[in-house]
Amino acid sequence: MGSIILQHLAEHYDLSGGQIAVVIQNAAVRAVRRGDREVSMADFVMACNEEMRGNFDERAKAGF
C-alpha cells in the first residue's frame, strides 16, 4: 500500500479536531469493508471529501 501524506491532507482540507476524528474513523471503516487491514490515502481523501460535503457552514459553531 502507498503511504499517507498528511501534509497533502492538511493543505487541502480545513477540518476541526472533531472532523479529523470522524475522517479517521470513516477511512478505517472503508478499509475494513473492503477487507483490507491498512487504510489507504484514497480512503482518507474520500473520507475528507465526504466530511467537507457535510460541512454546510464554514464558521465553527458551538452549542445549539
Domain-located, residue 27: yes
Domain residue limits at 18 = 14-53
For the chain, the straight-line distance linking the first and the last C-alpha, in angstroms and rounded, comes to: 42
Please report whether residue 62 resides in a domain: no
Would 22 be classed as within a structural domain? yes
pTM, rounded to two decimals = 0.78
Identify the pLDDT of residue 3: 83
Residue 6, CA distances (Å) to 41, 52, 55, 59, 61 in order? 9, 17, 21, 23, 25
Q: Is 3 within the bounds of a domain?
A: no
pLDDT of residue 56: 55
In a domain, 18, yes or no: yes
Structural domain includes residue 9:
no
The rounded distance, in Å, linking the Cα atoms of 19 and 15 is: 6
How many separate domains does the chain show? 1
Is residue 2 one of the residues assigned to a domain? no
Return per-residue pLDDT of the chain as tens, 64 residues: 468 899 999 999 999 999 999 999 999 999 999 999 999 999 999 999 999 998 655 555 555 5
